[in-house]
Amino acid sequence: MTQKKVAVFVGSLRRESFNRKMAKALTALAPESLKLEIVEIGQLPLYNEDLDNDTPPAAWTEFRERVSRFDGVLFVTPEYNRSVPAVLKNALDVGSRPHGKNIWRGKPGAVMSVSPGAIGGFGANHHLRQTLVSVNVPTMQQPEAYIGNVADLFDESGNLASDSFRGFATKFMQAFAALVETNTCCKA
């Protein structure tokens, strides 16, 4: 079996963010058919079409080339003001431009929103899904993953401390692996 490479995007830049901890936990729980790798997005200059000419910013070029080599994409995001953090939306914009060179097109994706609050980032999850439709990422529908009260899921060392959540996260990753393996969508 050939391992599929999956880029993981963390919507929080905070060093000790629960989203980064969750991304690392999902990486550890991924089936052997997937190889997950966190792709940093904090260094990307804000998208400005005026700069997207023959010599776009080097960070954009490196990002586009790197992400284009992955077989799938996984987003782990907090919710900021009922929406997606600007850093994550910027990464999506940088990767979808210039017109006709969308690096996201056809890559199967999954979304997990993570929050210390009770509603688990519902707004961010759905706003992100809207953008993924636009950039042609076939996104896993089930199981949905709105993870609230996340502080209760990790121990002091940042490891998953909840067996019931570990079971859910394992099923989530197995479902995502199946989507990545069977994806035949939208490459054109």
Break the chain into its structural domains and give their ranges. 4-182
Model pLDDT, residue 184: 65
pTM over 0.85: yes
Q: At what angle do helices 163-182 and 18-29 cross, to 10 degrees?
A: 70
Model pLDDT, residue 30: 97
Question: pLDDT averaged over the chain?
Answer: 95
Is residue 82 within 8 Å of residue 115, measured between CB atoms?
A: no
Q: Could you report the per-residue pLDDT of 158-178, keeping only the tens digit for each? A: 899 999 999 999 999 999 999
Average pLDDT over residues 109-115: 97
Domain 4-182 in CATH 3.40.50.360? The answer is yes
Q: At what angle do helices 86-96 and 58-68 cross, to 10 degrees?
A: 80
The confidence band for 106, taking pLDDT boundaries of 50, 70 and 90, is very high
The distance in angstroms from the start CA to the end CA of the chain is 25
The torsion region of residue 149 among left (phi > 0), alpha (psi -120 to 50) and beta comes to left
Q: Could you report the per-residue pLDDT of 57-76, keeping only the tens digit for each? A: 999 999 999 999 999 999 99
